[in-house]
């Protein structure tokens, strides 16, 4: 089990690196756009298009990693009602339910990607095929669903495995 978790942690480096690279590219593009807009009165025409693509990469690359780590923002209104094993079971059921529910938007995004591909849809300025970002969103959402289901199963079946991997545990 420990080897599997180490492999999963290693695999999580790729989407995190993609999100970091997209964020850095977005920062550079925004700086260049503001500079060109202010100094030369000539903004980057495709800035909106690139911003959408970079934001999709940032958000959806991070989604499976955040899901696997259990780092989602949560409201702790019911935490006082659950202690010990009950809290672990609740967290597992929530992770399993969320993972199962994420399969629907992942499937819908995949259908949209296939439709965009069949129509030959491209972006306005750069002519990026629109099925590429939509397919990426779908695949990362599927990965997040799988991560949540795996986390829920581990919380139920092998909770110590997750505690060993958490920092400070």
pLDDT tens-digit series, residues 100-153: 999 999 999 999 999 999 999 999 999 999 999 999 999 999 999 999 999 999
Give me the pLDDT at residue 168, please: 44
Predicted local confidence at residue 74, as pLDDT? 78
Rounded percentage of the chain residues whose pLDDT exceeds 70 = 95
Number of domains in the chain: 1
169 pLDDT band, cuts 50/70/90, is: very low
pTM of the model: 0.85
pLDDT in tens, 63-103: 999 998 888 887 877 777 888 888 889 889 999 999 999 99
Closest CA to 98 of 56, 155, 53: 155
Residue ranges making up the domain that contains 161: 2-165
Q: Given 3-state DSSP classes, what are the helix, strand and coil percentages for the chain, each rounded to the nearest 5?
A: 80, 0, 20
């Amino acid at each position: 089990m420990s080897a599997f978790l180490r492999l999963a942690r290693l695999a999580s480096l790729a989407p995190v690196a993609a999100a970091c690279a997209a964020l850095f590219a977005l920062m550079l593009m925004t700086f260049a756009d503001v500079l060109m807009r202010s100094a030369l009165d000539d903004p980057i025409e495709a800035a909106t298009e690139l911003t959408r693509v970079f934001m999709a990469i940032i958000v959806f690359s991070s989604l499976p990693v955040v899901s696997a780590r259990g780092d989602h923002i949560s409201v702790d209104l019911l935490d006082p009602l659950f202690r010990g094993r009950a809290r672990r079971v609740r967290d597992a059921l929530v992770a399993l339910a969320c993972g199962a529910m994420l399969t629907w938007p992942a499937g819908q995004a995949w259908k949209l990607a296939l439709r965009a591909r069949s129509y030959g849809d491209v972006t306005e300025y750069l002519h990026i095929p629109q099925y590429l970002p939509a397919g990426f969103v779908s695949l990362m959402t599927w990965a997040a669903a799988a991560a949540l289901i795996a986390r829920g199963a581990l919380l139920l079946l092998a909770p110590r495995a997750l505690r060993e991997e958490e920092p400070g545990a």
